[in-house]
Chain A
Amino acid sequence: KQEVTQIPAALSVPEGENLVLNCSFTDSAIYNLQWFRQDPGKGLTSLLLIQSSQREQTSGRLNASLDKSSGRSTLYIAASQPGDSATYLCAVRPGIGNTGKLIFGQGTTLQVKP
C-alpha cells in the first residue's frame, strides 16, 4: 500500500531564505508526483507535476526533484517571501491501475516571516 510522508510538518523561516520541503513515498511504482499549495480554508493549487521518467521540474522560484528509486521528492523554494506562507502538499499517482487518483502526504505548513 502506497504511503506518502512529508517532513517537517511545519517550518518557519525568515524572508529571503532558500528552503527545501521533503516528501517520501513507500512504493517506487508511480506514474507521476505532483506538488500543491493550499492556503487556509481554500482548495489546492497545482504547482509542479513531475512524470516518473523525469528528474526535475522548474517554475519560477520553485524547483521540484524526483528520485523514484529512493522514493523521494524535494520542493526547493528560492528567496522565500511572506506570500509563500501556505501548506505544501505532495501527492503521488500510483503506477497500478489507470484511475489517475492521487495519494497525498499530510503536508508541510510553511511560515515565511517578514
Chain B
Amino acid sequence: DTGVSQDPRHKITKRGQNVTFRCDPISEHNRLYWYRQTLGQGPEFLTYFQNEAQLEKSRLLSDRFSAERPKGSFSTLEIQRTEQGDSAMYLCASSFEGNSPLHFGNGTRLTVT
C-alpha cells in the first residue's frame, strides 16, 4: 500500500490552455474523490466515483471540467480553457465503501498565469 498518488505535483500553465491531472488511488479502494482547495480554505468537493461510475458532480464543476475513471482504477481530471480562477490545489482521495475514512494524496498545485 503506497497511498494515494497524484501526478504532477505542480503545474504552471497559461490561461486558455488545457491541463490534465492523474490520480492513482489505494488499490483496494473502490471510491475515488476529487476536491479543490484554495489558499486559506478547506477542500471543496468536486466529484466522486464508485468504481468506474461517476455518481456525483458538484455545481463547482463547470463544463470546462471533466473527470474519468476508466476500468475503476486510476482517474484523470481535465480542465479545458483554463482561467486564472482555476489556480488551486487539486486533491484526490480514495476510500472503501461504507463508513470508512478518506485517504488523500499530496495534491497537484495548479497555477494559471
Evaluate contact between B42 and A105: CB separation under 8 angstroms.
yes
A-B contact count (CB 8 A): 61
With a CB–CB cut-off of 8 A, which chain A residues contact B103?
46
Closest-CB distance, A94 to chain B (whole angstroms): 10
Evaluate contact between A43 and B48: CB separation under 8 angstroms.
no
Evaluate contact between A106 and B42: CB separation under 8 angstroms.
yes
Evaluate contact between A99 and B55: CB separation under 8 angstroms.
yes
Evaluate contact between A101 and B45: CB separation under 8 angstroms.
yes
Q: Chain A 25-46, CB within 8 Å of chain B: the 1/0 string?
A: 0000001101010000111111
Residue of B nearest to A105 (CB): B42
With a CB–CB cut-off of 8 A, which chain A residues contact B91?
43-44
What is the number of residues of chain A that contact chain B, defined by CB distance less than 8 Å? 26
Closest-CB distance, A30 to chain B (whole angstroms): 11
Evaluate contact between B42 and A104: CB separation under 8 angstroms.
yes
Q: Chain A 91-110, CB within 8 Å of chain B: the 1/0 string?
A: 10100010111111111000
Q: Given A34-B102, A43-B106, A43-B107 in contact, is the A104-B43 Cβ separation under 8 Å?
A: yes
**Can you spell out 16 A-B residue pairs with CB atoms less than 8 angstroms apart?**
A43-B104, A43-B105, A49-B100, A49-B101, A51-B99, A89-B43, A91-B43, A93-B99, A97-B56, A99-B55, A101-B56, A102-B43, A102-B102, A103-B45, A106-B40, A107-B41
